[in-house]
Homo-oligomer: A and B are copies of this chain.
Amino acid sequence: MSGTDRSRAGDWVPQGPFCILVEPQLGENIGASARAMWNFGLNRMRVVAPRDGWPNPKAVAMASGAGRVLEEARLFDTAAAAMADLQVVYATTARPRDLIKRVLTPEAAMGEAAALTAEGARVGLLFGRERTGLETEEIVRASAIVTIPTNPAFASINLAQSVLLLAYEWRRAVAAAEPERLVTNRTEIAPQADVDRLVAHLTARLDAAEFFFPEHKRPAMLANLRNYFYRTPLTDQDIRTLYGVIRALGGRGT
């Protein structure tokens, strides 16, 4: 996939919330965060005082395919500076004990963020240091807290994974307005009349073979059989196949 984003450079539009990494230590984590962002269409990164300087070769190596996120990232000295021009910031952290602040799920936060962004707000997501997370002073500046609902017995989750889950929820939120796609590929789902004909055909063949026996059980047996065929959407292809199967099993060849 490397370079795919470059080949579509024309599609590159800075978009979505600013992802602010506060004093990240490992270049690998920065690169993995860039990938996680771009996986879900986010591309505006801000990096606060990275331990190993900037640019960071390990970050670049890890980001392969999402390198442009790093190239266009902005560097800041403090978290406060990185948030200064933003209007609403969500801080990802465990629920703090001492601060009174709204605590949101990732879904709720990104739902809000999508609505605010659509209104033209500049929104940020704040991610803390690998080991020690965010400091109280940094959380204080946030508009709200986002807490990922992990297993209480095993809550530790790494930086890029936090970014991934927030970016995922961002994309879900912006896609929510669009209809959710279910089902299939290009083949058409058959109209029910076609299923009716198939079932009638099969029923006639089974009646001829005295399948529905004893007679008083016929209605229930038939209902079960028909239910089976109506339960899944059958495609045109499926129907052709099933006619063929019925014919073949009846010994009349293809």
* Chain A residues proximal to chain B, CB less than 8 Å: 1, 4-5, 8, 11, 35-36, 38-41, 65-66, 95-105, 107-108, 148-151, 153-157, 161, 164-165, 168, 171-172, 175, 180-185, 187, 202, 205-206, 209-211, 213, 221, 224-225, 228, 231-232, 235, 237-238, 241-242, 244-246, 248-251, 253-254
Contacts and interface: CB of A to CB of B under 8 A. Distances in A.
B251 A224 contact: no
A242 B184 CA distance: 24
A225 B250 contact: no
Given A40-B151, A211-B254, 20 more contacts: A4-B153, A38-B154, A65-B156, A66-B154, A96-B185, A98-B185, A103-B183, A148-B168, A149-B171, A205-B248, A205-B249, A206-B245, A206-B248, A206-B249, A209-B248, A209-B253, A210-B254, A224-B237, A224-B238, A249-B249
Contacts of A108: 180, 182
B1 A156 contact: yes
Contacts of A225: 241, 245
A153 B69 CA distance: 13
Contacts of A153: 4-5, 8, 11, 38
A238 to B, nearest CB: 5
A245 B211 contact: yes
A26 to B, nearest CB: 15
Contact of A155 (B39, B210, B228): B39
Contacts of A181: 103
Contact of A104 (B4, B155, B165, B182): B182
B101 A39 contact: no
